[in-house]
């Protein structure tokens, strides 16, 4: 049944029913799950869901004063695209010599950097994900950070502008340090014995898709590290993690126990559905079948867009992995290079405006149908999956 985004947020905060494996009787959980893991395609509404859930847990009051925004007042800590917006570049357009990443002051960054002095831990985490020679340099008031690269042989490259992927890694490293300290403090059962009381009111951590611009290796590493952080939590703190990445989802699914798993869908009328996934359906998350249905509908409606090439590539990758092929391109028709170049062209992540790929032509849209039909017709795996589905 379709719901509003607020109703989906309420669903996440509602205690679940579950089956007792020994008696098969249905029992009512006294709490919401420790971890809720949500998969959704990009643009479905994950970030909107994080904001709706935040408003549900800690609604803003018209009379809210400046003090109520302090970290100690918060019931929910969340990482999303809006978290990344707190960091923005001053590119020094006049001199083009000293680009700096500016840090918008807020209760999270103030506590981590200014009050707790976690800049060294942030640097270590950042270099772990990127390169030990790439070093952030914080200003004395922690309002900005510059970056340098040590090339060895006494070569030093100061004031560089890091890539989008490195920037995402840096911002996550700040948030990672905050979560790490928060979990450590809340793991002390008696509040009076904690070194700080700023986390005492926290109930939820909502992590919305921290994997933008990450390569596959770093994505897996981030998922494993996030899962380790969550597993180290011994308090009543609850975690909600959303992602558009099948790989990130699958790593978290395999790493975490006692989680509830969902797929978030958005319908044409603007309503949503949050469908719980059980058992083996999470191993592939029924993702391949959903991709196939999405592509088939786009072909029927003659509405194939650029992102459908990404879905098609994901479908080939997933099929190749299941069948044991080392490369997904081996599943392509005989003229592999032609179709490979077309798919790569539409699934590349260009960062320059003059490299932006044009919308697919009618002939290129026909390529999606041809390659989807090829996959369904030449691999009996699909007939088996349809029967089991």
- What is the per-residue pLDDT across 236-280, written as a single tens digit (0 to 9) for each? 999 999 998 877 888 898 899 889 999 898 888 989 999 888 765
Beta strands in 2-103 (DSSP E): 17-19, 26-28, 35-39, 76-79, 87-90, 100-103
Nearest-5° angle of CA 354, CA 308, CA 379? 135
Q: Which residue has the higher pLDDT, 256 or 326?
A: 256
For residue range 168-202, what is the model confidence (pLDDT) as tens digits? Answer: 889 989 999 999 999 999 999 999 999 989 899 99
DSSP tag of 330: G
Does the pLDDT value for residue 77 go beyond 80?
Answer: yes
Least confident of 94-98, 118-122, 300-304: 94-98
**What is the distance between the alpha carbons of residues 46 and 80, in angstroms, rounded to a whole number?**
9
Question: Regarding beta strands 87-90 and 100-103, do their DSSP bridges make them parallel or antiparallel, or are they unpaired?
Answer: antiparallel
- Parse the chain into domains and list their residue ranges: 5-284, 287-388
CA atoms 232, 234, 237, 239: torsion sign: positive
Place of tokens 């959704």: 40
Q: What is the pLDDT of residue 18?
A: 58
pLDDT given for residue 66 in this prediction: 37
Instruction: Answer for the pair 175, 48: CB distance below 8 angstroms, yes or no.
Output: no
How would you classify the pairing of strands 134-138 and 100-103? unpaired
Q: Do 197 and 72 form a contact (C-beta atoms < 8 A)?
A: yes
Class of domain 5-284: alpha beta
Task: Return the higher-pLDDT residue of 206 and 326.
Answer: 206
Q: What is the mean pLDDT of residues 96-125?
A: 87
- The three-class DSSP label of residue 244 is coil
- For residue 293 the two structure tokens come to 């249905």
Query: What is the C-alpha radius of gyration for the chain, rounded to an integer number of angstroms?
Result: 23
Query: Chain-wide mean pLDDT for the chain?
Result: 81
| Distance, CA of 91 to CA of 97 (rounded, Å) | 8
Confidence (pLDDT) at 29: 52
Q: Is 3 or 315 the better-scoring residue by pLDDT?
A: 3
User: Higher pLDDT residue, 106 or 53?
Assistant: 53
Share of residues in the chain with pLDDT > 70 (%): 80
Q: Are 330 and 319 in contact (CB under 8 A)?
A: no
The pLDDT of residue 284 is above 60 = no
Residue 301 has pLDDT above 80, yes or no: yes
């Amino acid at each position: 049944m379709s719901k509003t985004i607020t109703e989906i947020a309420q669903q996440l905060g509602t205690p679940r029913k579950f089956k007792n494996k020994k008696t098969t009787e249905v029992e009512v959980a006294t709490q919401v799950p420790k971890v809720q893991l949500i998969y959704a395609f990009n643009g479905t509404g994950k970030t909107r869901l994080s904001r709706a859930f935040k408003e549900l847990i800690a609604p803003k009051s018209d009379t809210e004063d400046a003090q109520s925004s302090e970290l100690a007042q918060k019931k929910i800590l969340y990482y999303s695209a809006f978290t990344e917006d707190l960091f923005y570049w001053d590119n020094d357009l006049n001199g083009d010599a000293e680009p700096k990443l500016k840090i918008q002051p807020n209760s999270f960054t103030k506590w981590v950097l200014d009050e707790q002095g976690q800049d060294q831990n942030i640097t270590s985490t950042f270099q772990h994900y990127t390169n030990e020679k790439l070093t952030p340099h914080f200003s004395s008031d922690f309002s900005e950070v510059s970056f340098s690269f040590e090339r060895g042989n006494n070569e030093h490259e100061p004031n560089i502008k890091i890539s989008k992927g490195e920037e995402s890694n840096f911002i996550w490293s700040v948030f990672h340090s905050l979560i790490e300290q928060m979990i450590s403090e809340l793991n002390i059962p008696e509040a009076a014995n904690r070194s700080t009381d700023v986390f005492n009111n926290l109930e939820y951590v909502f992590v919305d898709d921290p994997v933008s611009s990450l390569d596959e290796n770093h994505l897996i590493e981030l998922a494993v590290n996030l899962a380790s952080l969550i597993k180290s939590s011994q308090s009543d703190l609850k975690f909600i993690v959303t992602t558009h990445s099948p790989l990130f989802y699958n790593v978290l699914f395999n790493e975490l126990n006692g989680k509830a798993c969902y797929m978030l869908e958005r319908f044409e009328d603007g309503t949503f559905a949050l469908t719980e996934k059980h058992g083996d359906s999470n191993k592939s998350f029924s993702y391949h079948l959903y991709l196939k249905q999405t592509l088939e509908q786009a072909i029927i409606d003659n509405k194939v867009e650029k992102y459908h090439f990404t879905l098609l590539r994901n479908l080939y990758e997933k099929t190749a992995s299941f069948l044991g092929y080392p490369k997904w391109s081996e599943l392509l028709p005989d003229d592999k290079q032609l179709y490979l170049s077309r798919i790569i062209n539409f699934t590349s992540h260009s960062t320059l405006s003059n490299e932006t790929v044009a919308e697919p032509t009618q002939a290129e849209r026909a390529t999606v149908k041809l390659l989807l039909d090829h996959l369904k017709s030449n691999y009996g795996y699909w007939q088996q999956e349809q029967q089991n589905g």
